[in-house]
Structure 1
Amino acid sequence: MPVRLRERRSRLALWAQRLALLAVPVLVIAAVGHRAGLLAATPTYAVMALGFSLAALGVIAAIAAFEGIWRDGRKGIGPALAGLLLGLLILVVPIMGAWKLVTYPRLTDISTDLDDPPAFALALSVRPADAAPLDPPDDEEADLQRQAYPDILPRHYPVGTARVFEDALAIVQKSGWTMLGSQRPEEPDNVGRIEAVATTMLFGFAQDIVIRIVPDGEGALVDMRSAARHGAHDLGANADRIRTFFAQLDASLQGITE
């Protein structure tokens, strides 16, 4: 009677695939739960950490499995490869976040006017109790912003405040931000204001936005402020948002700035 040898399969390869696959629903729960308001920011960060940890463990298990497969001829190259690729794909997000963490300063509130930042009014009523305070930047924070983002400055347009307000409002509405309210420039001060809320793409963390438009000589001066509600670092997102807004406003107003 012929003897059939039992094929040896790599248990690490199977675990690599399982861990990477398990990371997916965990991260989906974090994203959907936070966007739906079922998870507050702190629990969401914890669930995210769990999901990314599972993906990292999947990658480690896959690498260890490859060593056993190569040395002992064990089966399991498919699951190991699946765990490695899926785990690495998931880890792109925290790896990019880590790069931004060391590249950008530890700031969560960015304003074009550091001496007199546009004040939030409507946002105060919708920010959760555990949100970061909206205090003006201290000297250290102001210096950090100036060094890291020297281009984040007020913008002057040689057109009236009413025209600038209409174009700015249209940009905000097209950006997919949630409008909180706006104030059209009217006599006697001709000051315009727009408040809105933007959210991050994957997990829906909120950033409050205020745009201030004031008369300035023969034109209008525009300031913008963007502040994250949670976290100790915005990973450069607020500065990027301000740059994008002004690039669109420049194009809308035919790029005429001073």
Structure 2
Amino acid sequence: MTVRFVRPFSVAAYLSRYLGLAALALFLVAAGIHRFGPLTTPDLVGLLMIAAGIALVAMLLALVGLERLWTTGARGGLSALAALLLSALPLGVVGYGAFLYWQQPKIYDISTDLADAPEWLVPPVANQQWLTRPAAVSKEDRDAQAMAYASLAGRRYEGAIDRIYTAAKKMAAAQSIRITHTKGVIGTVEPPSVGVPEQDKSQPTEEAPVEDLPSIVPVPMARPVEAPQPTFFNGSGVVLMQGETRTRIWGLRFDILIRLKEEAETTIVDVRVASRYGPHDLGMGAAIAEAYLDALDAEMQGLNDN
């Protein structure tokens, strides 16, 4: 009589695959709606933690399925392997975020000038929901920043404030910083209109026969518009530009304040960056400030070389 071996069925392995797929789907949908839709950052963090929890359960069930495959030859090995792959992204991202949370200082506001941080023109306000944080930045926060980001400092450039202002505004646009408020700049001159100047226009006259018109008629030329618009300053020697930006992948919102202070024949540039939500910026605030200052260094170096 032939004995036929019937492989057992691992429910844990098959269930882990569906849970891993659900975790990945929740992760991708939440990230997409936050980046391109109305989902707020506190809601995103909550959904990512739920997705990571589901992925963790899927991984544990997958390990149980693999153990059953090893000991009893139970079916479901491919499902367990698929569950591990599907759970890798949610668990990896949330795990890396937790690593940064414990490694970086628990601060949400950084400044290149710790002694005299630039004051917000319009204090950022956002509904923190469950990501509560202190209302004001304390001295302990500034001390923690000094220990963690000792190399983060402002810049001093040779030149008048109007020259540095032009470069600073240009680099803000290059770094996807949208300037919303400005202080210290009086205004700009409207660009010249294209066409015939008003004083050069002649008054309309009565129509004359076509045969009386000259054969050669001068054509008015438009005035050049390549010249930059002049900017006027209020004489205080300080210009403040407040704006906002979003990280490239996740779309996390940050508020930025750029301060230009004229001293003698030099101009000092300081930057303040604060995360819009939460008590921790995971080190991204310092990275944003450093990236902007490095870009400004390159721009000023190019201007000096020219």
Structure 1 and Structure 2 fold alike (TM over 0.5): yes
Counterpart of 2:243 in structure 1: which amino acid?
A
Moved more, 183-192 or 158-167: 183-192
Matched residue, 1:71: 71
Q: Which has the larger radius of gyration?
A: 2
Q: Which has the higher contact order (CA 8 A, sep 6+)?
A: 2
SS at match of 1:106: coil
CA distance, structure 2, for counterparts of residue 144 and residue 128 of structure 1? 24
| Percent identity for Structure 1 against Structure 2 | 29
Shift of 1:234: 1.0
Q: Runs of 4+ in structure 1 displaced over 6 angstroms?
A: 2-5
Counterpart of 2:45 in structure 1: which amino acid?
Y
- Alpha carbons 1:34, 1:41 under 8 Å: kept: yes
Moved more, 4-13 or 228-237: 4-13
- Alpha carbons 1:30, 1:203 under 8 Å: kept: no
SS at match of 2:156: strand
- Alpha carbons 2:48, 2:90 under 8 Å: kept: no
Q: Give the 5 Å matches for 1:1-258.
A: 7-35=7-35, 38-122=38-122, 124=124, 127-130=125-128, 135=136, 137-183=137-183, 184=185, 186-254=233-301
Deviations 1:172-207 (A, max 9, x none): 212223332445461412422222212234443311
Query: What is the RMSD computed on CA atoms of the aligned residues?
Result: 2.5
Counterpart of 2:25 in structure 1: which amino acid?
P
- Alpha carbons 1:107, 1:141 under 8 Å: kept: yes
- Alpha carbons 1:111, 1:224 under 8 Å: kept: yes
SS at match of 1:254: helix
TM (normalized to structure 2)? 0.74
Counterpart of 1:98 in structure 2: which amino acid?
A
- Alpha carbons 2:24, 2:86 under 8 Å: kept: no
Q: How many residues align?
A: 252
Shift of 1:3: 9.3
Moved more, 62-71 or 81-90: 81-90
SS at match of 2:301: coil
- Alpha carbons 2:160, 2:267 under 8 Å: kept: yes
Shift of 1:225: 0.5
SS at match of 1:194: strand
Deviations 1:136-195 (A, max 9, x none): x32211211111111122211112222222222222212223332445461412422222
Shift of 1:242: 1.0
TM (normalized to structure 1)? 0.86
Higher percent of residues as helix: 1
Moved more, 179-188 or 14-23: 179-188
- Alpha carbons 1:156, 1:221 under 8 Å: kept: yes
